[in-house]
Structure 1
Amino acid sequence: MIVRRFEAGDAKEVSDMIRRNFLEVNIKDYPEEEMRELADGYSPEKVISISRQGHTYVVGDEGRIVGTGTVQCIEGSLNACILLAIFVMPEYHARGVGRMILETLEKDTLFSCSDRVELHASITAVGFYEKMGYRHMSKNKEANEDGVYLMEKVLS
């Protein structure tokens, strides 16, 4: 498997992979209607828009994209960033792809220039991020009103 920067020509394949995650993985933990709305919102154009606001990477295996993730600065902050749109092809879950993406994002200059990094984790991903050193921002380790867990890693 190889990790490389996202290119605009990857947008459809990345969009399809993200949509599959919402409709095959996250749908087990969240209301179907919400997952369908999120899936519909992750068009190739949205993927390109996200990539223009930060640094997006993809993981490729045998000519197909099997993972993606983005790091971007938090608006208005000079020393904090956020990790966004981290997804792995459903059939590649638990095969090290998520770790590859996260390790790549953590080597990126936007990440290394930050004192603190945030991410929003789904129910499915919380355990993975905990293993990778991210901690809950909520003292009660509770999800927010959208059912997402706000997590962070303090770097300094």
Structure 2
Amino acid sequence: MAEARIRRALDSDAEAISGLIVQTLRLSNAGDYSPEVIDRVAANFDVAGVRGLMASRQVFVALDAARVIATASLAGDVVRSVFVLPELQGRGVGRVLMRHVEGLARTAGIQQLRVPASLTAVPFYKALGYAVVREVVEGDERTLVMARQLNVG
């Protein structure tokens, strides 16, 4: 599965990205967050929300044939909104997508990437060499900001 093709997201991908993110939140993150937190986070990723993100950051998709199976975005030195379809998690798609984003960041001269990680995603980012920098608590939602040095040059 790690041979997924990665490209910049197109406006026509917004609906698929929205569906992917909401499904992943509801299935993969349900063990770590209350339904209220998931509903609140999912509301940010409706189609209009995804289009807004696409206008303000570099959004990428991983494709299996023509199907969007994962997404990630880069906003300066911060990786955001990394999601892989639940049935494909653990098959290397997220790793390939992160390596793509890290490569772009390196090319841009970024020396350290940060990622606000859900509790669910911390083991994934740790496996990629990210370390917890600090905890962020907003009401009943906890995330961990993680960071990784990039070898630039």
TM-score, normalized by length of structure 2? 0.88
In structure 2, stretches of 5+ residues that fail to align are: none
Which segments of structure 1 move beyond 3 Å, counting only runs of 4 or more? 109-112
The one-letter amino acid paired with 2:128 is M
**Partners of 1:105 and 1:111 within 8 A in 2:** no
Count how many residue pairs are aligned between Structure 1 and Structure 2.
145
Question: What is the percentage of aligned positions where both structures have the same residue?
Answer: 26
CA distance in 2, matches of 1:28, 1:137: 23
Q: CA deviation at 1:112?
A: 3.9
Deviations 1:56-108 (A, max 9, x none): 110011321000000111xxxxxxx1001100011110011100110110111
Aligned to 2:143: 148
1:136 aligned onto 2:139: no
CA distance in 1, matches of 2:112, 2:14: 28
1:8 aligned onto 2:3: no
Aligned to 2:94: 98
Among candidates 42, 47, 50, match of residue 50 of structure 2: 47
Range that drifts further, 46-55 or 10-19 = 46-55
TM-score, normalized by length of structure 1? 0.86
In structure 1, stretches of 5+ residues that fail to align are: 74-80
**Partners of 2:9 and 2:60 within 8 A in 1:** yes
Range that drifts further, 35-44 or 84-93 = 35-44
Greater strand content = 2
Q: CA deviation at 1:41?
A: 2.1
CA distance in 2, matches of 1:44, 1:110: 30
